[in-house]
A and B are shown apart, each in its own frame.
Chain A
Amino acid sequence: MVAVVFGLLFIIELGNLGVYRLSYALSILKPEEQGFWTTLEVVAVILPTGFGLGFLIGWARTTRFVILRGLGSVYVDFFRSMPPIALIFFFYLIGGIELTRAHTNPYLVTTVTLWLGVAALALHTAAYQAEIVRAGILSVPSGQTEAADAVGISRLRTMFVVTLPQAFRLSLPALGNEFSSSIKDTSLLYAIGWTELSGVSYGLASTSFNTGYLYASLIIWLEAAFFYFIVTYIVTRTVRAVEDVYKVPGLEVARQ
């Protein structure tokens, strides 16, 4: 509520300042929309792969197998301690150098290195999601597995029919959080040449000085923010819908 009032006041204030030039705002809508679709494409790759990998690593960290636990722990320690922008550049540069050295077709080098940047972000969010999944698994009381043991269900099956369904339900709010945060991390991809929402916006902003229109940048980034909001909204609403599917009567999470 407060946010809505603030937003309205902000828009009115911008109007008072003479910021609005509707023709300009509309003229950049088309390229911004292009960026939006590219962002959506990248997000559609990062979220499922990051979740899949994060799930496996999080699970590995809760098993009895010391080697799996150790590998998982090294993975998480490494990828959580790297700033995503540095990871993107590492992947982009190392990939680019190696491929060029191998005399790969330059067009292919560009495509592959761009997607290596995306892979960096997927691996980054996987580390965070691994911890979320691990916390979810650990938060299922040991009595649950003991009860499954006591009726003769095997350990592996118990994981799938008892532990994971409960862990998943408990993890969903945190996963939604991480999803929305990793959506915004895709804005860093402009740095290696992606023309997603941020790439497009930077491009528009740098040429906007030539138009002599003082507030152009502001309009550009407002539009970009609006499109980011749409992506985030789609994803977080989807997570909520999944939460509803996994809702347990009598154990509902309080919700406004």
Chain B
Amino acid sequence: MSSIHARGVRKSFGDLEVLRGVDLDVNPGEVLCIVGPSGSGKSTLLRCINLLITPDEGEIYLDNIALTDPHIRPEWVRQQIGMVFQQFNLFTHLSAKKNVMLALRHVKHLDRKKAEATAKAQLGRVGLADKLNAYPAQLSGGQQQRVAIARALAMDPKVILFDEPTSALDPESIQDVLAVMGRLGQEGMTMAVVTHEMGFAKEVADRVIFFDGGRVIEEGSPDEIFERAGHERTQSFMKKILR
């Protein structure tokens, strides 16, 4: 089981300072939920962790390895850290199976048979064994997101980042996706989840972080953050969303 540690991460886009010195830990096997208003920098933070965005300052560690070291290849980092997007981002020209197989073939260089076997196994794991040959446009949002999770899992990542994985889904699909994520958490996957799903956070999260204005405002157990937040900013946000 692996962990993520961010220290003093800063990132600006032009004049806009999006991350203002973020310290963050995702401990081994932990499910960490990150909540906070839109535009607070949550997505940018996740993207800094797998180097989709290069931080201006600060260090990010996967276990003891400094990912921000310039000698480290970003492609290698991204093999270790899976990511699931709000808009699924499945490859629209490929079937579910081939979506999962693509990186296995081109990054892990598995032969077709092995890649296909892995893809089938992972799609089965997210409950889509019967949709192997369906194309993204033929799948519901929830099914697409589960394919995306299978695609991330197939690379055998040490950590998975979820960027509002259910925000684009209908209520029924949300439950399917959350169930898959909950199971992953129980199996001991280290996960950082940006979410507005308070039910999920309460049930599955080991720890919750309230994030606003580019920094961590407060962290604690789900109960502490949702029910007994110490910080005024956290309280007012929770009041709005827990209504």
Contact = CB atoms under 8 A, between A and B. Distances in A.
B89 interface: yes
Contact of B50 (A141, A150, A250): A150
A125 interface: no
A148 B75 CA distance: 10
Contacts of B138: 249-250
Given A153-B103, A251-B137, A169 B93 contact: yes
A158 to B, nearest CB: 9
B138 to A, nearest CB: 4
B78 A152 contact: yes
A148 B85 CA distance: 12
B52 A149 contact: yes
Given A165-B93, A248-B93, A151 B103 contact: yes
Interface string A165-179: 110010000000000
Interface string B44-79: 000000101000000000000000000000111111
Given A152-B79, A153-B106, A251-B135, A143 B89 contact: yes
Interface string A154-197: 10010001100110010000000000000000000000000000
Nearest to B154: A151
Contacts of B193: none
A199 to B, nearest CB: 43
A72 B19 CA distance: 37
Contact of B92 (A151, A152, A251): A251
A144 interface: yes
Range, interface on chain B:
20 to 34
A146 B135 contact: no
Given A147-B89, A166-B92, A249 B137 contact: yes
**Majority secondary structure of chain A interface residues (helix, strand, loop or mixed):** helix
A165 to B, nearest CB: 5
Contact of B75 (A154, A165, A248): A154
Contact of B155 (A147, A152, A165): A152
Nearest to B105: A161
Nearest to A150: B83
Contact of A151 (B87, B137, B152): B152
Nearest to A168: B93
12 contacts: A144-B92, A149-B74, A150-B85, A151-B82, A151-B103, A151-B107, A151-B152, A152-B77, A152-B107, A153-B106, A165-B93, A250-B137
Interface of A: 141, 143-144, 146-154, 157, 161-162, 165-166, 169, 246, 248-251
Across the A-B interface, give the 10 residue pairs with the lowest CB-CB distance, nearest first: A250-B137, A147-B89, A151-B103, A143-B89, A250-B138, A152-B79, A150-B83, A152-B78, A152-B75, A152-B107
